[in-house]
Amino acid sequence: MTPLLRQVLSQIDGPDPRVNEVVAALVSHLHAFVEETRPTPEEWLAGLAFLVETGKMCTPDRDEFILLSDMLGLTSAVDDVNNAGPANMTPSSVEGPFHSPAPERKLGDWISTGPERERGVPTVVHGRVLDCDGTPLAGAVVDLWQANDTGLYDTQDDSQDTGNLRGLFTTDADGLYWFRTIRPSSYPVPTDGTGGTLLRAIGRHPMRPAHLHYRVTAGGHRPLITHVFLAGDPYLESDAAYAVKEELVREPRPGAGEWGMDGPYEEIEFDVRLVPLGWTEERANPA
Ligand code: BEZ
Ligand code: FE
């Protein structure tokens, strides 16, 4: 440890021990970063100016810092350290910036209510919400959101009605949820801010593989925020937000006619297994 770092650490002594711990670790890593990369004063100031620009992009509807965190894999890393559970649970995956209140809908309703419905591949999404032991969870609430075929959420696009491609569903007595939509498309994350500057600088594309977002809640269980991704998407291995997990990828199948659809359609099946409240590694595997 350098004398300078020792001196900085020795003066961290606030009233909250957790704040002291976090600031000390952050400062230690940043000093190690400076030792390793040896930035010139101009480079350091350029880095600080980048953060100032990031702050200027933020509005009540847009948080460019969250986007940077997503694009560096940091949001996924924080998600992972906070969502351990049994091996058969549905893994969580980042929320992203586009959740907003969804209209309540009945099982089987369309969530696509705009012109994208004529352009897209009709798709039935169905599955059950279960406990990790397989018990169906009746009355679970499944909150869904999806971008349209041009890659925009209703909140980003004045031409879409509020609530388009969103829905709040309640599972039936068997834990079943189902709804109709269009096949999700891959789309780029916003690149007109410092998030885009970063992606261009490090030679990454801005694409997210086709997905649907889920937020699932049920009494006595840990709420789950996750995605379902479509098998075969070219961006599964290089998601701009590093949110893909193997267990969340599903193959759309040609519809077999059970869901009352007119004409050809695809179906995606995605069961969600929630972790009971109070689950801990120690309780699950007592020594
Ligand atoms: C999204 O899928 O909505 C998203 C997630 C992370 C960053 C940007 C967008
Ligand atoms: Fe998304």
Q: For 15-53, write each residue's pLDDT tens digit.
A: 999 999 999 999 999 999 999 999 999 999 999 999 999
215: containing domain: 76-284
Residue 188 sits in the same domain as residue 250:
yes
> Would you state the pLDDT for residue 92?
96
Q: Is residue 68 part of a domain?
A: no
Give, for ligand 1, the residue of 72, 78, 94, 229 to mutate: max count of ligand atoms closer than 8 Å to Cβ.
94
How much is the pLDDT for 60?
A: 84
Cα–Cα dist 108/114, whole Å: 17
Residue spans of beta strands (DSSP E) within the chain:
122-131, 141-145, 166-170, 176-182, 187-188, 207-208, 211-217, 224-230, 249-250, 253-254, 266-269, 272-274
Residue 152: the pLDDT is 93
Question: What's the confidence (pLDDT) of residue 219?
Answer: 96
Tell me the CA distances in angstroms from 74 to 11, 55, 244, one per residue in order.
28, 18, 14
Looking at the fold, whether 19 and 152 belong to one and the same domain comes out as: no
- Classified as helix, coil or strand, 68 is helix
Do residues 11 and 110 share a domain?
Answer: no
Same structural domain, 24 and 100: no
Instruction: Evaluate whether residue 107 is within a structural domain.
Output: yes
Give 10-residue mean pLDDT values along the chain (287 residues): 96 98 98 98 98 94 92 96 92 93 97 95 97 97 96 92 97 98 95 96 97 98 97 97 97 93 95 93 74
**Which residue minimizes the CA distance to atom 7 of ligand 1?**
96
Which residue's C-alpha comes closest to atom 2 of ligand 1? Answer: 96
Q: What is the pLDDT of residue 279?
A: 87
N- to C-terminal Cα distance for the chain? 37
Distance (Å) from CA 257 to ligand 2 centroid = 29
User: Which residue type, as a one-letter code, is found at position 148?
Assistant: N
The Cα–Cα gap between 208 and 181 comes to: 19
164 and 224, same domain (yes or no): yes
CATH of the domain at 219: 2.60.130.10
21 and 136 co-located in one domain? no
Q: Whose CA is nearest to atom 4 of ligand 1?
A: 96
128/161 same-domain check: yes
pLDDT tens-digit map of 109-149: 999 999 999 999 999 999 999 999 999 999 999 999 999 99
Indicate whether this model's pTM tops 0.75: yes
Task: Output the ligand 1 site: residues, CB below 6 A.
Answer: 67, 70, 94, 96-98, 189, 208, 241
Ligand 2 centre distance from Cα of residue 232 (Å): 17
248 occurs within a structural domain? yes
Residues 160 and 33 in one domain: no
Stated as kind and residue range, the H or E segment containing 120 is none
Q: What are the structure tokens assigned to 257, written together? A: 């006619």
Structure token pair of residue 275: 């972790």
Distance 250 CA to ligand 1 centre (A): 19
Structural domain count of the chain: 2
Say whether both 170 and 227 belong to one domain. Answer: yes
Instruction: Look at residue 228 and tell me if it is in a domain.
Output: yes
Choice from 66, 98, 152, 154 to test ligand 1 binding pocket (greatest atom count within 8 A of CB): 98
Q: Answer yes or no: do 161 and 130 share one domain.
A: yes
Same domain, residue pair 38 and 120: no
Residue 207, both tokens: 């694409």
